[in-house]
Amino acid sequence: RPEVRTRANAGIGASIGMAFGGAFFIAPFLGGFAGLSGIFGLITLMATVGLMILWRFVPEPENQSRTPNTPTLEMIKSVLVLPSIRTIDFGAFVCSTGLSAVFFMIPIQLAEQGWISSELWQIYLPML
């Protein structure tokens, strides 16, 4: 429903932020305890449980196709001609590129400065 969409999106965003904060805090300890393979094993387990919950408890949606049978390329072109959408796309591109660069380069720089990976949460957690 459109009247609760903003509140729902805010709740989803807040839960994603809290998950990132928790991951930055817990991952170094979990990595020290179980190693990288243990982290991936836990991710696999959580994904499997999530899929089982999805298949068991989420009902099948009714088939309500609202989009006409327009070719995908035409739909993309119709969106990209709007200046406001291009601005949002460019902003999202710059933001995601910057974040990717930060999360790729900062660990390398910190390792060169003598930080060990189990201490990186002390840098990343306050940044959130």
Q: Do 90 and 55 fall within a single domain? A: no
Q: Do 74 and 35 fall within a single domain? A: no
Residue 124 belongs to what domain range? Answer: 68-128
Please classify residue 124 by burial: count the beta carbons closer than 10 Å to its beta carbon, then call 0-12 exposed, 13-18 middle and 19+ buried. Answer: buried
Number of domains present in the structure of the chain: 2
- 14-23, 39-48, 106-115: lowest mean pLDDT where? 106-115
Q: Do 39 and 76 fall within a single domain? A: no
Handedness of CA 108, 45, 12, 80 (dihedral sign): positive
Per-residue model confidence as pLDDT tens digits over 36-68: 889 899 999 999 999 999 999 998 877 766 666
> For residue 80, is pLDDT > 70?
yes
Q: Do 17 and 36 fall within a single domain? A: yes
Report the pLDDT value the prediction gives residue 20, as an integer from 0 to 100: 84
DSSP 8-class letter at 118: G
Q: Do 80 and 113 fall within a single domain? A: yes
The last residue of one of the domains, among 13, 33, 60, is: 60
Q: Do 55 and 21 fall within a single domain? A: yes
